[in-house]
Copies of this chain bind each other. A is one copy, B any other.
Amino acid sequence: MMETDEVCGITAIDRKKVEHVEQNLPESNRIEKMAGFFQAFSDPTRLRIVLSLELEELCVCDIATIAGVSVSAVSHQLRYLRNMNVVKKRKQGKMVYYTLKDEHIREVIRTVFEHIREG
């Protein structure tokens, strides 16, 4: 017989390991926040927008051209990215120009991108 135990109706095979993990895992809040961060880059259109803004400050219309979707769709995604603190906007007359919010975002993107290349 293995070291088996009943916990909440689920069979925990190795209680020590489970406890070790549960004690060292970030709290749920943080994990959800982190997952949300990843989610911001998990859609091809959104990622293309972000990568574009790493190269140039762009207006909504130009982003739509580059992303190959409607201006409306881009606007929706930009709002999403703004809420996630990934991009910021600069208004100039009728136009609204978007850029990445800070260097921090740039570095994360670059890091992951490098690792993708290797993998």
Contacts and interface: CB of A to CB of B under 8 A. Distances in A.
Q: How many copies does the complex hold?
A: 2
A56 B112 contact: no
Contact of A56 (B20, B47, B108): B20
Contacts of A51: 25-26, 31
Interface of A is mostly: helix
A38 B38 CA distance: 5
A55 interface: yes
B13 A62 contact: yes
29 contacts: A7-B65, A10-B61, A10-B65, A11-B61, A12-B62, A13-B61, A14-B58, A14-B62, A18-B62, A18-B66, A20-B55, A25-B66, A26-B51, A28-B44, A31-B48, A32-B44, A34-B41, A34-B113, A34-B116, A35-B46, A35-B47, A36-B42, A39-B43, A85-B119, A107-B115, A108-B112, A108-B115, A111-B112, A112-B112
